[in-house]
Structure 1
Amino acid sequence: MMIIKEHMEARDFILTAVLAVITLSLFFIPTKFGSPSQFNTARVRAEILEVDNSTLEKFGIVTTGDQGLTMQITGGAFKGKIISGTNMLLGKMDMDKLFVQGDKALVTLTLNETKDSIISTQVVDHYRIRVELALLILFISLLIIYAGWTGVKAVVSFIFTAAAIWKILIPGFLIGIPPVLLSLCIVTAMTGVIVFLIGGISRMGLVAFLGAISGVGTTALLSLAFGSAFKIHGAVKPFAEALLYSGYPHLNLTAIFLAGIFIASSGAVMDIAMDIAAAMREVQEKHPAIGRTDLMVSGLRVGRAVVGTMTTTLLLAYSGGYTFVLMVFMAQGTPIINAFNLVYVSSEILHTLVGSFGLVLAAPLTAVFGGLLYVRQDQSVRPV
């Protein structure tokens, strides 16, 4: 028994190490998007030394005009150099930013061909990278402290998912690979990495993987079926139209939108599949003589409890991003029937309901797979 345990731990370590290497390798995949002019630019951190607000005008709650800035570069080849720039305020609160003395800003420098002289500057926004990294490090540290080796594996799966989305999924969309097919392949790969990292290369991992993929596949089919019935196009999402005008008019925005439905719900589907697979394994290990049907019944009972809260989780996750829209509807007295027929509200209803279908079906399917794989021979027959 000790030898088997050591063998499994060694295999677990090797799998984690291999996937960590693959994850790091993904970040070195070149994307090569953007205009040629961007290759003669540098992005630096700068401290705001002085601000000139003399040309700013305030209209009610919005401010417009040009804010003059004097800045000192605090990193890179031009560290210490004093530069000036303009912060244009358009009167759009969701896009405008206002600087004060002492703030840190992210600045894009346009350089000459030899990259030894600055031609122009553009102030992007407040510099938030250090705070974001600090929050990420805090999250990773807490995860590892609490979960130990499982936490390390969770971090690897987390970074792998981010790398797969940024380096494979998004570039694949941009070059015109069929969005639904590409998304299914990426979600399958991510599900395999996450489930087998956390659950190990074991029957539990296989049960969770099969249950999760079944739920994701169901969600994909339903998104395609009901997407056309809802008459929702992909341009309903923010920045979708801007993408078309950025040199990508060939993109099928509707297919990308539909692919996003099962991508968004895949995490919750994985959760419920792993919960049921782990619970069934625990039952089977505590009661080795349990029959296949009895074990399936136990899995179904666990699934019922988990599904009851997980579907509400999806509703909260999606509606949370639309708090201000819902407040506007309430404040203006918009009839609920009008709100439900608006395209951006209908898109979230489609997201929530189709994603919930995947959850509900993933639970019993995982229980079935668990019964078939955990127990070799049925020993009892018992009604649900």
Structure 2
Amino acid sequence: MINNWEATYFDFNEEKIMNIARTAAELGIELFVLDDGWFGERDDDRRSLGDWVVNRRKLPNGLNGLAKQVNELGLQFGLWIEPEMVSPNSELYRKHPDWCLHVPNRPRSEGRNQLVLDYSRQDVCDYMIETISNVLASAPITYVKWDMNRHMTEIGSAALPPERQRETSHRYMLGLYRVMDEITARFPHILFESCSGGGGRFDPGILYYMPQTWTSDNTDAVSRLKIQYGTSLVYPVSAMGAHVSAVPNHQVGRVTSLKTRGHVAMSGNFGYELDITKLTETEKQIIKEQVAFYKDVRRLVQFGTFYRLLSPFEGNEAAWMFVSEDQSEALVAYFRVLAEANAPLSHLRLKGLDPNQDYEIEGLGVYGGDELMYAGVAVPHRLGDFISMMWRLKAVQR
């Protein structure tokens, strides 16, 4: 997929979006996702959350017109929403100021210039079910990114008496589950991905309704080694969203190669989040090759057995691999963070292979499965920081 967020933030119009979509189609990308800024007067993060009506100044043909243009390019169309939030500067808040979580006679703490809607209230949940359903029914949408960008504070409800205020947080989650249950049931063809400032709400309850989660808003490839490795200890790789973003990275300022960013992101649900219209022809060719390669191996990544080989928490390297159920194919990813002078020759021991089977490693040769698991594969020496390698193994006849 390609998401326009880090390419445009709130500053976009239909022409800019379509330029990104056209470039994405040329690169073989399958899904375009329109992020924050498409509704109300949402030109920044200080207004309009809760006003889920398309901004015709930015998108004169509406969501339906834009989505159809994207579809004509051969891409599916996805959409960002944040249905649990409301901006104080919004029509919804001006009409229903009591619909947010709050404690009477106390200031309402804002986070990212927004407040949390009170999903412990049935009327709020009913309203959001119908409002979001109307949006999703208005265009050929096949993917939704459901965001939640702040912590809950002043957890009180105007709908409950003082002696029952402690029920609010639990009733909020029950209300949220009801909203998610109803919306996902109404739109079974839509793939829902949850997000909460990244993986702030990566949990089994949300995964029941939304089978994948945006793992972290930190898209830096080096940071993601620990983020994705750690997440994999609890949740399957198929649930982790992972994207290639721009450099210098918008969160930490680090510069890593497009190759390394691609290898890290391919170790999850693969996508891009940068302005692909400004790339060089060489960079576009690299992305085109990455997309084609991932299409070829994504079933292995998403449904193969995942093995952790080297922990990024324990040293300068990280590695993991995916093995097909019949052990006939595998994909290995290796990463070295910082270069070392006179570094010793490194051997990476693999896992999960058939010890009685020979495997061909593209570019390296043919080895026995037992050899690869007990002696390991010699890691080629490379100069420089933030190095990555990816090897594909296929079983061959002895």
TM normalised by structure 1 equals 0.27
Larger radius of gyration, structure 1 or 2? 1
Answer 1 or 2: which has greater helix percent.
1
TM-score, scaled relative to structure 2: 0.26
Task: Choose between structure 1 and 2: higher strand proportion.
Answer: 2
More contact order relative to length (CA 8 Å, sep ≥ 6): 1
